């Protein structure tokens, strides 16, 4: 049976009025939130607004002291006003990025081998370090990890024993996440050593492809949730301990922290309305290229309070340390979200920058410009990390050959074998 395009098209036609009404209602709500966002700086300073929000444990966001010196949530990137082509973006970015080492890591996975009588999986992480040097120095590497039966299965017994185990594919995602974070920590430690020895001309910046606030782990089992939070906590601790900036880069974000905060502050006006993505509100308030927002402290949910870890003999707590801002880099109308630890706001930046956050923001903005809307170094890491269908087929063939060579009784599942024969 094939995908019935006519049936789907007919279903869309049947719902055209509902969808149109939703979008029209959304536009009106966006305008109301935009008006509220514009009035926020007039409602009080950061400490006053934080007091007004103190009755809520998780108000979404809290203003930082940067809020006091801003007359708008949006900070205009004036340099871009004179640009009329992508070549102008590249020229600006090339000069700004010169000799700034930028590191990125991304990962991929091969799901458990349900085709066989033994479940095995594989995760892979790739790192890319672009030195942005005149000679074009680019370092890259890949590290993989084989996941055995106990890594990809969990107990289904009544008493938590191992009398019955079943494949849990979500465990592969957890192992991949942990693998990426561990690789980033290792590379941060290496970079810190090189920077301290004077082998790097400028301070490195690390890009993590995803959020630092791991709310996605909340619905998971406690043991799994804890491992996710432990992995990201180690990354944050390594960043702070070694004073290497790390940014969680979230492309096309749907986060609602600012909308939630504003709704709480303006209950009489917005209390009966739903929250909508911050990016949906902010996009229309920004100029075409490079604008960002004032940084805010993230107070989304309990996952931020669970970011604690011991690293190099020091106990770290990041419950009130994860900040965020939004960045607009074309093409497209969507915004990207930058999440970063608060110590960057409190650390002096290099010459020309008030602090390390401003330096890092400019570097990330330039790298995104070079990549035409998405950091080029992240694109390279993604390309190196990806495991496609051909890789998965080769993995299966390798397992079969290995089993034959080592006299391992590896057998095809009957259903999987039937599918394989029919698709040849």
Average pLDDT value for residue range 151-156: 86
Instruction: Give the pLDDT score at 26.
Output: 76
Decide if pLDDT at 78 tops 90: yes
Instruction: Give the pLDDT score at 415.
Output: 44
Q: pLDDT-based confidence at 157, cuts 50/70/90?
A: low
Instruction: Give the pLDDT score at 355.
Output: 96
Instruction: Give the pLDDT score at 9.
Output: 76
Average pLDDT value for residue range 153-159: 72
Decide if pLDDT at 416 tops 90: no
Residue 7 lies in a domain: no
Decide if pLDDT at 6 tops 60: yes
Q: pLDDT-based confidence at 7, cuts 50/70/90?
A: confident
254-300 pLDDT, tens digit each: 999 999 999 999 999 998 899 999 999 999 999 989 999 999 999 99
* Number of domains within the chain: 1
The pTM (predicted TM-score) of the whole model is 0.90
Residue 164 lies in a domain: yes
Q: Which of 22-31, 338-347, 357-366 has the lowest mean pLDDT?
A: 22-31
Residue 381 lies in a domain: yes
Average pLDDT value for residue range 240-258: 95
Angle at the Cα of 10 (from 9 to 16), degrees rounded to 5? Answer: 85
CA 162 remoteness from chain centre:
35
Average pLDDT value for residue range 101-125: 92
- List the domain range (segments joined by +) for residue 61: 23-423
Residue 206 lies in a domain: yes
Average pLDDT value for residue range 302-326: 96
Decide if pLDDT at 164 tops 50: yes
Q: What percent of the chain has pLDDT over 70?
A: 92
- For residues 100 and 202, the answer to whether their CB atoms sit within 8 Å is yes
Instruction: Give the pLDDT score at 422.
Output: 43
Q: What percent of the chain has pLDDT over 90?
A: 77
User: Which of 46, 65, 80 has its CA nearest to residue 290?
Assistant: 80
Instruction: Give the pLDDT score at 308.
Output: 96
Instruction: Give the pLDDT score at 417.
Output: 40
Average pLDDT value for residue range 224-249: 97
309 forms beta bridges with 316
Residue 405 lies in a domain: yes
Decide if pLDDT at 2 tops 60: no
Sign (positive/negative) of CA torsion 273, 277, 279, 284? negative
Residue 10 lies in a domain: no
Instruction: Give the pLDDT score at 162.
Output: 59
The mean pLDDT of the chain is: 90
Residue 11 lies in a domain: no
Residue 374 lies in a domain: yes
CA 294 remoteness from chain centre:
19
Q: Measured between alpha carbons, how far is 402 from 92 in angstroms, rounded to an integer?
A: 53
Average pLDDT value for residue range 73-77: 96
167-199 pLDDT, tens digit each: 888 999 999 999 999 999 999 999 999 999 999
């Amino acid at each position: 049976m094939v995908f019935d395009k006519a049936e789907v098209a007919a279903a869309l036609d049947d719902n055209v009025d509902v969808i149109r009404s939703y979008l029209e209602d959304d536009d009106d709500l966006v305008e109301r939130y935009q008006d509220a966002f514009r009035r926020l700086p007039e409602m009080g300073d950061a400490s006053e607004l934080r007091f007004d929000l103190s009755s809520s444990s998780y108000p979404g966001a809290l203003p930082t002291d940067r809020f006091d010196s801003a007359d708008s949530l949006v900070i205009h990137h004036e340099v871009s006003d004179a640009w009329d082509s992508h070549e102008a973006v590249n020229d600006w970015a090339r000069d700004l990025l010169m000799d700034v080492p930028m590191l990125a890591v991304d990962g991929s996975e091969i799901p458990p081998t349900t085709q066989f009588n033994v479940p095995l999986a594989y995760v892979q992480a790739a790192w890319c370090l672009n030195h942005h040097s005149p000679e074009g120095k680019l370092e890259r590497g890949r590290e993989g990890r084989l996941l055995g039966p106990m890594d990809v299965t969990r107990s289904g017994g009544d008493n938590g024993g191992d009398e019955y185990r079943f494949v849990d594919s979500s465990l592969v995602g957890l192992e991949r996440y942990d693998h990426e974070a561990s690789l980033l920590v290792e590379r941060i430690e290496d970079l810190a050593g090189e920077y301290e020895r004077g082998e790097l001309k400028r301070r490195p910046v690390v890009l993590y492809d995803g959020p630092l606030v791991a709310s996605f782990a909340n619905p998971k089992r406690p043991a799994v949730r804890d491992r996710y939070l432990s992995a990201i906590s180690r990354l944050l601790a390594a960043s702070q301990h070694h004073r290497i900036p790390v940014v969680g880069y979230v492309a096309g974000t749907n986060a609602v922290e600012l909308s939630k905060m504003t709704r709480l502050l303006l209950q009489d006006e917005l209390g009966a309305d739903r929250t909508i993505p911050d990016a949906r509100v902010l996009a229309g308030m920004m100029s075409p290229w490079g604008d960002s927002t004032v940084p805010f402290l993230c107070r989304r949910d309990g996952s931020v309070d669970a970011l604690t870890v011991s690293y190099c003999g020091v106990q770290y707590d990041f419950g009130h340390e994860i900040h965020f801002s939004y960045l607009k880099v074309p093409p497209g109308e969507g915004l990207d979200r930058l999440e970063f630890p608060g110590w960057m706001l409190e650390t002096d930046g290099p010459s020309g920058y008030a602090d390390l956050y401003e330096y890092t923001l400019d570097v990330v903005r330039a790298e995104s410009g070079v990549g035409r809307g998405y950091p080029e170094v992240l694109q390279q890491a993604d390309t190196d990390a990806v495991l496609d269908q051909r890789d998965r087929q080769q993995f299966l063939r390798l397992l079969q050959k290995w089993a034959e060579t080592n006299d391992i009784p590896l057998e095809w599942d009957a259903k999987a074998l039937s599918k394989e024969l029919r698709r040849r």
